[in-house]
Structure 1
């Protein structure tokens, strides 16, 4: 595989060794420091003026993993800005635009898009332009040549923020692309500091040193994986479940939920071949519910079937140092790297090709085959 974003001196490992995907997971600490080290003055000014408006609505949008990015960061943005912030997938907006776009509400549409070439990406921004009287766009993308970036590059009501070129992942699954866009959003709109980025980068370097342990966890041959997290960590649980489903080409079953929600029916999925991963909140109140479900699951399944990821010391937990003072939207970035490695090593253990787990093309890196139907004249302004 040729990668124009990676120096030619860096050889791509064989698929059984992780392919480009293992490089893209491992580059995240370095990439995050690069993201935090650069600053777009126009974006900062553009957003400062907008977020000063008390009537502003912020919509975080994308498809698949890019939609889940919005679910993860929304709580931090909501608290920091004191504004109405909602995560709504492009797939929902395109299918039912009048259920989600409000003509009379000034709106900042934040689009997450690795390539910007998914059919729904540009369609969502066009629908917002068509329906909402006052709308502005923040485009977070990894591909300067993508359709979304090119569409919004020269508009005065838009800012396009490009991630470092190497984050335009060549592997099938979004890894460094996703976390870089989330990080940029938190830096711009969520109150994250450069010191926070350094803490996250060091925590991930700790995870990178744990790769052999994560690989051993992947060799247990569980048939079902359940991911649990509350608040912004529920979006993380959803993304983690998707990552494993993608990289194993659907060979394992995955579920996600909140610790409280899991008891209301989904808990029926548990059996002797289930591995549960619990992402522990840094919020003292929320963490009580995490600890309750951990104790319950360990009693039912045994400690070996419950993997706990925490920013604070807990018995039999994977503890990531230096993150206890960060909010859940921030620590989710580091937690996600653990989940990415687990998905990758599970894929390899099952004989998949992680850079292309669907060699017959049943599922594509960039979605194909979607027809965008125009809005009827009767709903236009």
Structure 2
């Protein structure tokens, strides 16, 4: 496992030991996750094959916060691979509006992502699906064997639980290795592939952890008090996750925003000022990449080019300005590529957090924001009809 390490740019890493270690060990966690899936392949295929054989099957990817963004990144790639509609809907939407999001009573596979499985919405979303739908199955992708989501679905006839490696169960406040391991796992399980599929991703991420960390940390200086992340398709959901990571770890002291490459011009571009850093995730798709490079060039022309960073597969020309290239990934689809790209965003968020003086392992010592969400009151579906407040 990679050594837990501070950066030379931000040597005061007190209160960040978990987060640093969990970012650093992702390559090893991915390798273990892929090996576990290979070992479980016969069982998980036996569960999924009859479901995927149904042309009317609806697949919903769900989770809360970062876990929801796993679905947002994975859904486009899985739709392409399986040639069927796959939707990413957050549990926070399913729980508050089940009659709208579960309106179609068709055979449904709900794929739930959760680090702990103890967030109030995690189990509630699966229960509501069972209540609203006649024919529903569950694939649970989670990191905590002691979590409520695992305990509720383990051994159920129409459920299959896919547990992540133990080291994916992040102990720090923010989800890092839990996010990437669940993302790669669902892509492998539904899209096929195994250890050979993740090998180039492992190598690329290890290169950043071992050799690129300090250069990324150097970007997090006090010139910036806001950061914008942009990406297209699956990388838009990655931009959202990256923005959340920065907001969480800095306890809101550095403001973040996300958008798509095309959407940013339609008003949100107003967020730019002289203290803004922009990160553009460049697609590996030849067609989509044109739009990413267009916004990159436009922003570098309007701003100091040093304030617009391109994260791209090696070999993709991003013109003048700072880029973080990843070797050997030009043929990797964006949903897989996201697992490597996000490592840059994680290091950047951690470095900003250390720079502004938060403790990334627990940025909110007062407890007003929690690692596992608290304070959610769950309501029964029949409350409104019965007039219960």
Q: What is the TM-score with the length of structure 1 in the denominator? A: 0.94
SS at match of 2:14: helix
Deviations along 1:249-292, one digit per CA (max 9) or x if unpaired, are: 00011100001000000000111110000000011111000110
Instruction: State the match for 2:248 in structure 1.
Output: 246
From 311, 314, 322, the counterpart of 1:312: 314
Q: How far has the Cα of 1:333 moved from its partner?
A: 0.4
Q: How far has the Cα of 1:48 moved from its partner?
A: 1.9
Q: Which sections of structure 1, spanning at least 5 residues, go unmatched?
A: 1-5
SS at match of 1:110: strand
Instruction: State the match for 1:140 in structure 2.
Output: 141
Q: Do residues 284 (structure 1) and 286 (structure 2) align?
A: yes
SS at match of 1:218: coil
Output the CA distance in 2 between the equivalents of 1:48 and 1:25.
34
Q: Do residues 374 (structure 1) and 380 (structure 2) align?
A: yes
Output the CA distance in 2 between the equivalents of 1:62 and 1:26.
24
Instruction: State the match for 2:9 in structure 1.
Output: none
Instruction: State the match for 1:348 in structure 2.
Output: 354
Aligned 8 A contact 2:261 2:292 in 1:
yes
Residues 217 and 46 of structure 1: is their aligned pair in 2 closer, same or farther, counting only changes over 3 Å? same
Q: How far has the Cα of 1:206 moved from its partner?
A: 1.4
Aligned 8 A contact 2:32 2:165 in 1:
yes
From 214, 217, 220, the counterpart of 1:215: 217
Deviations along 1:92-135, one digit per CA (max 9) or x if unpaired, are: 00000011113521100000000000000000000000111110
Output the CA distance in 2 between the equivalents of 1:352 and 1:331.
30
Instruction: State the match for 1:360 in structure 2.
Output: 366
More displaced 10-residue stretch of structure 1: 17-26 or 209-218 = 17-26
Aligned 8 A contact 2:4 2:17 in 1:
no
Aligned 8 A contact 1:15 1:355 in 2:
no
Output the CA distance in 2 between the equivalents of 1:257 and 1:300.
18
The 5-angstrom pairing of residues 1-381 of structure 1 reads 15-16=13-14, 18-39=16-37, 40=40, 41-208=42-209, 209-313=211-315, 314=317, 315=319, 316-376=322-382
Output the CA distance in 2 between the equivalents of 1:12 and 1:300.
37
Deviations along 1:226-253, one digit per CA (max 9) or x if unpaired, are: 0000000000000000000000000011
Deviations along 1:167-189, one digit per CA (max 9) or x if unpaired, are: 11000000001111111100011
Output the CA distance in 1 between the equivalents of 2:179 and 2:223.
27
Runs of 4+ off more than 3 Å: 10-18
Q: Which sections of structure 2, spanning at least 5 residues, go unmatched?
A: 7-11
Aligned 8 A contact 2:311 2:341 in 1:
yes
Output the CA distance in 2 between the equivalents of 1:11 and 1:288.
38
Output the CA distance in 1 between the equivalents of 2:179 and 2:254.
23
Output the CA distance in 1 between the equivalents of 2:222 and 2:81.
41
Q: How far has the Cα of 1:378 moved from its partner?
A: 9.0
Q: What is the TM-score with the length of structure 2 in the denominator? A: 0.92
Output the CA distance in 2 between the equivalents of 1:51 and 1:373.
33
CA RMSD after TM alignment: 1.8
Aligned residues: 372
